[in-house]
Structure 1
Amino acid sequence: MNWILLLLGILSEVVGTTSMKMSFGFTKLIPSISIFMFYGLSLIFVTLALKRIDVSIAYSIWSGLGTAIIAIVSMVFFKEAISLVKILSILMIIAGVIGLNISEGMHGKEFSPSNISVGKGAN
């Protein structure tokens, strides 16, 4: 459930950020109101998720995936330029989030080659 709350926080933040673009500098009423509504929801969802998810993991996933998703939304819906560098950068953000998630499984363990399991019979 906590991961669902975090996902809802990410999606709310993406909608809030998209609303920023659509508000045209607070000149459009509905998108302007949506900014505060969805950012508020995002903070509520993330705060609830923090009951069971480490803040370092939750915040990095929230900000990293939010950044990656909003970059994709911007290219698709707002016709921002697409380049190889942008795509590679988004992939690196996602890889970083995955790496942080993997590190959660190694919580309290010092990194060493003996901590890595490979194949059958590994400890």
Structure 2
Amino acid sequence: MKSWLFLGIAIVAEVVATSGLKASEGFTRLWPSLLVIGGYAVAFYFLSITLKEIPVGLAYAIWAGLGIVLVAFIGWLIYGQTLDAASVIGMALIISGVVVINVFSKSVAH
């Protein structure tokens, strides 16, 4: 169960870091740049711990899928970026794919 918590921390840290990339303005602003570097360091550290128990394919599918959706939501919420119907449908398919892998796949040990 602890591995799933670590995966959650990795996802949140990656989303914070990725969202901070825009604010860093190409790493020309100090504090947002430090947030990005620190966020990715935390994300990869916790992802590496997660991989001791959760298979890499499953962990990465969840990490990448949720990261895409959360970063798009933050872009909409904070940066005023628009999400059209196609992008919302595409993200729903990504989430559906993660659920299918997690719930139904026999090729990945849970």
TM-score w.r.t. structure 1 length? 0.82
C-alpha deviation, 1:23, in angstroms: 0.5
> Could you tell me how far apart the structure 2 residues matched to 1:107 and 1:62 are?
18
- Aligned: 1:53 with 2:62: no
| Bigger Cα Rg | 1
Residue in 2 aligned with 1:112? Answer: none
Q: Which runs of 5+ in 1 are unaligned?
A: 109-123
Q: Which runs of 5+ in 2 are unaligned?
A: none
Higher relative contact order (CA 8 A, sep 6+): 2
More helix by share: 2
Q: Between the two proteins, what is the percent identity of the paired residues?
A: 32
Post-superposition Cα deviations, 1:7-43, rounded to whole Å, max 9, x if no partner, equal: 1000000000011011111121000011111001000
Post-superposition Cα deviations, 1:35-54, rounded to whole Å, max 9, x if no partner, equal: 11100100001110111101
TM-score w.r.t. structure 2 length? 0.92
The amino acid that maps onto 1:91 is A
- Aligned: 1:35 with 2:36: yes
| Equivalenced residues, count | 107
